[in-house]
Structure 1
């Protein structure tokens, strides 16, 4: 089952997402959505998720709760980082790849992506 916020899930249920165009098929234009938290406030801009691919969590404790997801989405640091087209492309490449773990390993070698992951970990560990 794919993971996203309640507001995001409702939007995906109404308007299904389409798989992003791979960078080999042309320039990757990533549209932004402005999700709304469960309390009704606007959150950070985020690209639409590819929800067709099932997600598996090895350990239940690895799942993020709604509060953690909203903290990430409302972080000004995360929002600012996601303004980077290069970073958004990396994330979309991971999401749309049949070899997502390999793409994630490649992305972690890029400083911009590594810094983003550290910011996310800092947010969810507080």
Structure 2
């Protein structure tokens, strides 16, 4: 998949997607500008595209929606920025086993059941603890 430009400033490569409307943006400044001017919330239940897979493009279902019953459970841009800026989390995500576990969840017919199964794997459980400690004040 080719790198995408920030749809807010149209100058830099996007690193993030808005958790509400999925518009690509490059920085906290662009995220804030987007939230003030452009962002349109989707009606409940919140529909969010599933995370991008590392699987070959021919097997990725780009139209697979993710329905969230509780919109407050969707991470906010600031939380996503905290996760993305954590060197500890970025280093952990280099682990091929973790990448495979995440892809397994993303591609599962029953993602919640797969998540429950994967939470029993020590490396994945530790990653989730790192993420939660990063985003929890």
TM range (shorter): 0.5 to 0.7
State the alpha-carbon separation in 2 of the partners of residues 36 and 84 from structure 1: 25
Relative contact order: is structure 1 or structure 2 higher (C-alpha 8 Å, sep ≥ 6)?
A: 1
Q: Name the CA distance, whole Å, in 2 between partners of 1:37 and 1:87.
A: 26
Cα distance, 1:86 vs. partner? 0.3
User: Equivalents in 1 of 2:82, 2:17: separation in Å?
Assistant: 17
Per the alignment, residue 88 of structure 1 pairs with 99
Residue of structure 1 in register with 2:52 after alignment: 49
Give TM-score, length-normalised by structure 2: 0.58
2:131 counterpart SS class = helix
Flag as ranges the 4+ runs of structure 1 deviating above 3 A.
Answer: 35-40
SS of 1:56's equivalent in the other structure is strand
Aligned length: 94
Structure 1: unaligned runs, 5 residues or longer: 14-34, 41-47
Aligned to 2:134: 123
2:125 to 105, 114, 126: 114
For normalisation by structure 1, the TM-score amounts to 0.63
> Aligned-pair distance for 1:52?
2.5
**2: CA distance, partners of 1:83 / 1:37:** 23
* Higher strand content, 1 or 2: 2
Q: Highest Rg: 1 or 2? A: 2
Secondary structure at the aligned position of 1:83 is classed as coil
